Structure formats: structure tokens, C-alpha cells
Amino acid sequence: MKVILKDNIESLGKAGDTVKVSDGYARNYLIPRGLAVEASNRTLKAFEHEKKQIMQKIERERMTAETLAERVKGTTCTIIRRVGEQDKLFGSVTTKDIEHSLHEQGFEIDKKMILLDEPIKATGEFPVRIKLRPGVITEIKVVVEAEV
């Protein structure tokens, strides 16, 4: 089935692209979530008008994400945890802990945006990437300290 994308989808393409996908993917995922519309002569003509509005919306979101990326860049999150022998943590520091620390500093960043290869299980300083939008990635520093 051919569909017109209404939003950027990393695995398919950018907003406004016409792509061919399986019928089930289009009917069960893309169309119900408003990410795409079925491509037909009528929808192609109607979509040309909408395309300008969608592109402006995406540009505004990208500018907002870049502004937030500049504000967040270089931020240090300090997380204090109990430690055992050899500076190993009881538990680990996860994206939820980093999200909470960022919220305390006034940044509205969802834990799904935080790219952490694996949970942090030791004390020290760790670089953590944050993907605000496709193509807008910034890095913060997470410092894990032992509880006194």
C-alpha cells in the first residue's frame, strides 16, 4: 500500500514522502496514529496544501529542540547512591534517575529521549547522549557519587 507520511519516521522517511509499506503496517499502525494517509489521487492533491503546514510545524519543532539542546548541552547531573565494595552501586542509575535529575534542574526531557547503552553501575563521571528529535542530539555529563 502506498502512503504519504505526515511526520518524520526514522525507518521510513521524512514528512511528505510517498512510500510503499505493507497493508497491515499502514492500516494498523501508521494511519490510526495519524502518521500517514493512504496515497490516492484525491489525497495527493489535498496533501500538497497540508504539506506546507506540516513542514512549518516540523521546522518549529526542530528549532525548539535545537534551542533546548543548547540549554542542556554541558549540563551536569549529580546522582548520589549507596555503594558497596569496590565502588559498585547497590542497584544502578537508569534513564528514569537521569530524567528526575534533569526535571529538578528545570528541563522537560522524557526518559525515552535519554540514550543510555546500559545502566550505570559504578561511581564516576559518564557522558550521556540525549536525542531530542531526529538529527538533534546533545550530550550531558552524569556524575555518580557515593552516599556519605
Check residue 23 and give its pLDDT.
93
- Residue span of the structural domain in which 128 resides: 73-146
Residues 31 and 86 in one domain: no
Domain edge (last residue) among 64, 91, 114: 64
pTM across the whole model: 0.68
Distance CA 82, CA 67 (A): 35
Check residue 14 and give its pLDDT.
83
Residues 95 and 37 in one domain: no
Residues 77 and 50 in one domain: no
Check residue 127 and give its pLDDT.
93
The gap from C-alpha 49 to its chain's centroid, in whole angstroms, comes to: 28
Domain edge (last residue) among 45, 64, 83: 64
Low-confidence ranges of the chain (pLDDT < 70): none
Residues 42 and 84 in one domain: no
Whichever domain contains 86, its CATH number is 3.10.430.100
Query: What's the domain count of the chain?
Result: 2
Residue 53 phi/psi, 5-degree rounding, is -65, -40
Domain edge (last residue) among 41, 64, 87: 64
Would strands 136-146 and 124-133 be described as parallel, antiparallel, or unpaired?
antiparallel
